[in-house]
Amino acid sequence: MDLIAGIINLDHEQDLLEELTYFRCGAAVPFAGRYRMIDFTISNMTNSRIESVAVFARRKYRSLMDHMEQGKSWDLDRKRGGLFILPPDWNDPTDLSRGDLQHFHNNIDFIRRTLADYIVVSGSQNICSIDYRDVLESHKESGADVTVVYKKVEELQPEHNLAHKLTIDDSGRVMAIHNDHQSNNVYMDMYIIERDYLNQLVENCIAHGCSHLFLDGIKGRLPDIHINAYEHEGSHALINSVESYYRNSRKLLNESEHDELFKEEFPVFTKVKNEAPSQYAYSSNVTNTLVANGCTLEGHVEDSILFRGVKIGKGAVIKNSIIMQRCEIEENAVLENVILDKDCSISSGRTLIGAPEKPFVVAKRKTM
Amino acid sequence: MKNKECVAMLLAGGQGTRLKSLTKKIAKPAVYFGGKYRIIDFPLSNCTNSGIDTVGVLTQYEPLILNNYIGIGSSWDLDRSFGGVSVLPPYMQAEGGGWYSGTANAIYRNIEFLDQYNPEHVLILSGDHIYKMDYNHMLEYHIAAEADATISVIEVPWSEASRFGIMNTNDEGRITEFDEKPEFPLSNLASMGVYIFKWDVLKRYLMEDEEKEGSSHDFGKDIIPALLNDRKKLNAYTFDGYWKDVGTVDSLWEANMDLLKEEPGLNLSDNKWRIYSKNPNQPAQYIAPCATVRNALINEGCRIYGTVDTSVIFYGVHAAQGSVIKDSVIMPNVKIGKNVKIHRAIISEGSVIEDNSVVGDSSPDSQITLVAEEGSVMASSYATIIK
C-alpha cells in the first residue's frame, strides 16, 4: 500500500463568514450540529489511512488548536507522524519565500521526512466524504504530475464565484484552470502530488519569487505540466459565506444528502465532549431537526440544527435556525432564520427574525 | 518507593443471571444504561472524578466486550503513566490456578498487583450499581475515623430492607453487626457494596481467609464478619443520593425510567461530575417532520420518524414512520420497522423489529418485555422479530 501524507493548507482561505469568523478561522467554524469544518477534511484523511497530517494555519487559529489538541479524536496521536498544527513563527533570516510558500518552505521538513511517497494538499472549505486512495489510484493510472479533485455541479451557486473551475479534455486531462462562470467543473481545492515533485516545486517556486504554490507553481505551468482531473461523486458543499453556510447546513436535513456525507463505514470524527443524551420534555415539539447531545428541549423547534448543550425553554419557537453550542433560549422567545454562535443567550419573550435568504447572525457570547 | 494513597479494585466478573439474556454474551457491568452508558461507566467515572487514578478491574465472566470497552482506559482519563486502569483476569501459576472463587479470592489473587502501588487504602467497588459518588469524601471520613474498614451504606425503605445486606450501627456510626438479607431487619442501612480497607489489614484477612476450610471467600459472607468478630474498627459511611441496583430486568427498566422523571435523582448533565463513556462517533440525531418526541432521552446517530414517548433511546437507533415507542428502553443500533408498537420493553443491541410487529404489553404493572439479541422474545408478547 502506498503511504500518503496530508497537508491542510489554510494559508489563503479568507474568513468570510462575518460574525462566525470574527474570532476564528473558517476551518474552525462549527458545522452540522457537532463538528467543525476541518473535521471533514481530517476525517477524510484518517479514513484514507493517512497517518501524518500538517495544518498550515496563518490567522485566528486559537480555537482550531483548542479543538484539535493532539489529534487523538482523529486517531492522529501517532508515534510516527500524527498531527502537526503549524502556525507562523518563522525566524529564518535567509528566507526568501512569500505567500503560502512561506509555509511550505519553513515546514519543508514535514515533506522531506515523511515516509509517504504522496501528499494530499487540501483546504477546509469543501465539505465532502472522499477516499484519497481512489484519487491516488487515478493519479497513478494517469501518469500525471498532479491530480486535482473537482465536482461537476448541476447549477453554479454564488459561493462558486470564488472557486476555480477546470476545463478538462476527454482523457481527463486539465487543459485550463480559470474563473469562467460558464464552466461547472468546480475545483475543490484539493490535489495529490508525489512528495519529491512537491519538494522540487516548492524550491523552484521560491527561486522564482512566486507567492502561491497552486496558482503559480501548478496552474501557472499549464500546459507544460500534466494535470489529471478526478471527479468527486457524492455530496459536496463549498462554504465560504454566511449564505452558503446556512443553505448547505440545512441541506443536511434531507436524508439522502445527509447519508452521502455521513457514511457508516466512513465516519466523521470530532472532539468528544461527553455530553449526556438530549432530553426532550413533555412540552417539546421538535420536527425536521438535527439535534446533538446534551440539549434540553422544552419548546417548539422545526427545520433547524441544534449543537451540543443547547437549552430551549418552554413556549420558545425556533424555525429555520442554527443554534450553536451551549446557547440558551429562554421561555417564549421566537427565532426564525437565525444563526446563533456559541454561548449566546436570548432572554424570554424576545423575537429575532432574519430573512430566509439572509439569516440574522448573532456573534459568540452575545446576550439579547 | 512511589506509592498511591488509595487504589480501587472493581469487581466486574459477575454474570448477572437475573438480567436474563441481556447478559448472555456480556458481563453485567457491560450492560447498557441511560441512552449512552454501560453500568461500569459509573464506578469508573466516579473514580476519575474522585481523583482515584489507579483502578484494577477484575473480570471473569464473558470478558470480551468488557475488555474491549475498557481498553487502556482513555475514555475515563485513566490512561496514566503510573497507575491507570488494569484489567485483571484470573490466571495460572506454577502451582496451578483457576477461576476466581469469590470476591475476596479475586482480590487475594491480585495482592501483587496492589503491592506494586504500596497503597495505604484499598477501595472495593462493584460494577452493578448506578450512582454518582465522591469516593474521596468517604476516604477522608475513613482516614479521620482511623477505621480499619469503612462500608458505604444507604437508607432503604424498611419494607425492602430484608433484600439487602443490612448494617447495624451504634451512635458513632460504628458497625456492630452485619446481617445479610435479614428476615427481621434491625436497621435500614443497606451496604452499597463499596468498601474502603486499610490495605495492611485487608491483606492479612485475605491471607487468613484463603487458608480457612469451607470459606466462600466472599467480602460480605467471610471478610466483614471476620473483621467484626475480631472487634476491628468498622464504620458505616452514609451515602445520601441516587443509588440503584440494576440487577434485574425490572430494576434496569425502572432505573432508565427514573431519568425521565420531572426531577431525576441522577443528573447526567452535571459538568462537574461527568459520566464518561466510549464515544461511538455518530452524527447528530435527526427528528423527522412526521416524528413526535415527548419526554425522552435520545442519543446521537438516531433517526426518529415515529412517535417516542417516555423512553430512552441509545445511539444509532432508527425508528420508521408510524412506529410507536412508549415506556421503553431501546439499546444501540436497533432498527424498528414501520407501524411497530413497542410498550414497556427493553430491546437489546442490534435487534431488528420488523414492520407491523407488536412488542410488549401496554397495561400498567405488566411485566417488562425483554427482546434479546438472538431474536427470542421474553415474557408476554406477540411480536415477529428477525435478527
- Per residue in A48-88, pLDDT (tens digit) is 999 999 999 999 999 999 999 999 999 999 989 999 999 99
Tell me if residue A204 falls in helix, strand or coil: helix
Tell whether the model's pLDDT for residue B219 goes beyond 90. Answer: yes
Shared-domain flag, residues A254 and A310 = no
Question: Strand ranges (DSSP E) for A21-173?
Answer: 30-31, 35-36, 52-56, 82-86, 118-122, 126-128, 146-152, 165-168
Flag whether residue B317 sits within 8 Å of chain A, measured between CB atoms: no
Any idea what DSSP says for residue B273? S
User: Which pLDDT belongs to residue B378?
Assistant: 37
Shared-domain flag, residues A181 and A298 = no
Boundary of a domain, candidates A261, A293, A317: A261
User: Could you tell me how far CA A94 lies from the centroid of its own chain?
Assistant: 34
B298-311 average pLDDT score = 97
Of the candidates B268, B303, B313, which has its C-beta nearest A276's C-beta? Answer: B268
User: Which pLDDT belongs to residue B1?
Assistant: 64
Alpha helices (runs of H) in chain A, residue ranges in sequence order: 37-47, 62-68, 101-106, 108-113, 132-142, 195-207, 242-251, 255-261
Tell whether the model's pLDDT for residue B383 goes beyond 90. Answer: no
Flag whether residue A193 sits within 8 Å of chain B, measured between CB atoms: no
Of the candidates B34, B284, B288, which has its C-beta nearest A33's C-beta? Answer: B284
The verdict on residue A145 lying in a domain is yes
Confidence of residue A181 (pLDDT cuts 50, 70, 90): confident
The verdict on residue A368 lying in a domain is no
Q: Which of B74, B258, B261, B300 has the highest number of chain A CBs within 10 A, making it the mutation to test binding with A?
A: B300
Instruction: State the total domains in chain A.
Output: 2
Interface of B with A in 178-237 (CB under 8 A): none
Q: Which residues contact B83 (CB under 8 A, 6 or more apart)?
A: B4, B7, B53, B54, B117
Q: What is the dihedral of CA A71, A75, A76, A77, to 10 degrees?
A: 80
Contact B297, B35 (CB under 8 A): yes
> CA-to-CA distance for B256 and B33, rounded, in angstroms?
7
Q: Which of B286, B297, B318 has the highest number of chain A CBs within 10 A, making it the mutation to test binding with A?
A: B286
Query: How many other CB atoms are there within 10 angstroms of residue B89's CB atom?
Result: 15
Shared-domain flag, residues A229 and A315 = no
User: Could you tell me how far CA B200 lies from the centroid of its own chain?
Assistant: 28
Contact A83, A76 (CB under 8 A): yes
Determine phi and psi for A244, rounding to 5 degrees: -70, -30
Shared-domain flag, residues A241 and A324 = no
Determine phi and psi for B292, rounding to 5 degrees: -130, 120
Of the candidates A255, A262, A277, which has its C-beta nearest B298's C-beta? Answer: A277
Residue range of the domain that includes A196: 4-261
Of the candidates B279, B281, B293, which has its C-beta nearest A280's C-beta? Answer: B293
Of A310, A314, A311, residue with least CA distance to A300: A314
Shared-domain flag, residues A299 and A169 = no
Of B307, B342, B345, residue with least CA distance to B329: B345
Confidence of residue B24 (pLDDT cuts 50, 70, 90): confident
Cell of A358: 439572509
Tens-place pLDDT, residues B344-370: 999 999 999 999 999 998 888 889 999
Contact B42, B132 (CB under 8 A): yes
Tens-place pLDDT, residues A195-234: 999 999 999 999 999 999 999 999 999 999 999 999 999 9
Q: Please classify residue B24 by burial: count the beta carbons closer than 10 Å to its beta carbon, then call 0-12 exposed, 13-18 middle and 19+ buried.
A: middle
Reported ipTM: 0.90
Shared-domain flag, residues A233 and A306 = no
Contact B148, B227 (CB under 8 A): yes
The verdict on residue A304 lying in a domain is yes
> CA-to-CA distance for B141 and A69, rounded, in angstroms?
38
Q: Chain A residues with CB inside 8 Å of B293's CB? A: 280, 284, 286
The verdict on residue A267 lying in a domain is no
User: Residue A321 belongs to a domain with what CATH number?
Assistant: 2.160.10.10
> CA-to-CA distance for B38 and B66, rounded, in angstroms?
10
Q: Output b/e per residue, A181-205; b: 16+ Cβ within 10 A.
A: eebebbbbbbbbbbbeebbebbeeb
Tell me the pLDDT of chain A averaged across its residues.
Answer: 95
Any idea what DSSP says for residue B322? T
Shared-domain flag, residues A251 and A284 = no
Boundary of a domain, candidates A226, A261, A296: A261
> CA-to-CA distance for A145 and A227, rounded, in angstroms?
6
Binding site members of B: 100, 165, 180-181, 191
> CA-to-CA distance for B27 and B8, rounded, in angstroms?
19
User: Which pLDDT belongs to residue B385?
Assistant: 44
* Residue that has been written with the C-alpha cell 457494596 in this structure: B193
What is chain B's Cα-based Rg?
Answer: 22
Strand-pair category, B37-38 with B149-155: unpaired
Tens-place pLDDT, residues A82-132: 999 999 988 888 889 999 999 999 999 999 999 999 999 999 999 999 999
How many Å lie between the alpha carbon of B86 and the closest alpha carbon of chain A? 21
Cell of A141: 493510472
B307-328 average pLDDT score = 97
Confidence of residue A33 (pLDDT cuts 50, 70, 90): very high
Tens-place pLDDT, residues B6-19: 999 999 988 888 88
What is chain A's Cα-based Rg?
Answer: 21
User: Which pLDDT belongs to residue A215?
Assistant: 96
Flag whether residue A363 sits within 8 Å of chain B, measured between CB atoms: no
Q: Which residues contact B265 (CB under 8 A, 6 or more apart)?
A: B241, B242, B258
Tell whether the model's pLDDT for residue A292 goes beyond 90. Answer: yes
Flag whether residue A75 sits within 8 Å of chain B, measured between CB atoms: no
Shared-domain flag, residues A32 and A64 = yes
A276/B281 CB distance under 8 A: no
Of B164, B235, B229, residue with least CA distance to B195: B235
Helix, strand, coil abundance in chain A, percent, nearest 5: 25, 30, 45
User: Which pLDDT belongs to residue B14?
Assistant: 82
Tell whether the model's pLDDT for residue B373 goes beyond 80. Answer: no
The verdict on residue A268 lying in a domain is no
Contact B14, B126 (CB under 8 A): yes
Flag whether residue A292 sits within 8 Å of chain B, measured between CB atoms: yes
Q: Which amino acid is at B57?
A: V
The verdict on residue A128 lying in a domain is yes
Tell whether the model's pLDDT for residue B241 goes beyond 70. Answer: yes
Shared-domain flag, residues A115 and A195 = yes
User: Which pLDDT belongs to residue B247?
Assistant: 87
Confidence of residue B384 (pLDDT cuts 50, 70, 90): very low
Shared-domain flag, residues A254 and A305 = no
A231 bridge partner residues = A150
Tens-place pLDDT, residues A302-335: 999 999 999 999 999 999 999 999 999 999 999 9
> CA-to-CA distance for B226 and B222, rounded, in angstroms?
6
Helix, strand, coil abundance in chain B, percent, nearest 5: 25, 30, 50
Flag whether residue A289 sits within 8 Å of chain B, measured between CB atoms: yes
- Distances in Å between the Cα of A115 and the Cα atoms of A78, A96, B26 are 14, 27, 42
Tell me the pLDDT of chain B averaged across its residues.
Answer: 92
The verdict on residue A298 lying in a domain is yes
Q: Chain A residues with CB inside 8 Å of B283's CB? A: 32-34, 258, 262, 268, 290
The verdict on residue A100 lying in a domain is yes
User: Residue A183 belongs to a domain with what CATH number?
Assistant: 3.90.550.10
Of A190, A200, A76, residue with least CA distance to A138: A190
Q: Largest alpha-carbon pair distance within chain A?
A: 68
Alpha helices (runs of H) in chain B, residue ranges in sequence order: 41-49, 64-70, 103-108, 111-115, 135-144, 199-211, 224-229, 249-258
How many Å lie between the alpha carbon of A142 and the closest alpha carbon of chain B? 36
Shared-domain flag, residues A162 and A234 = yes
Tens-place pLDDT, residues B135-151: 999 999 999 999 999 99
Shared-domain flag, residues A179 and A226 = yes
Boundary of a domain, candidates A261, A293, A323: A261
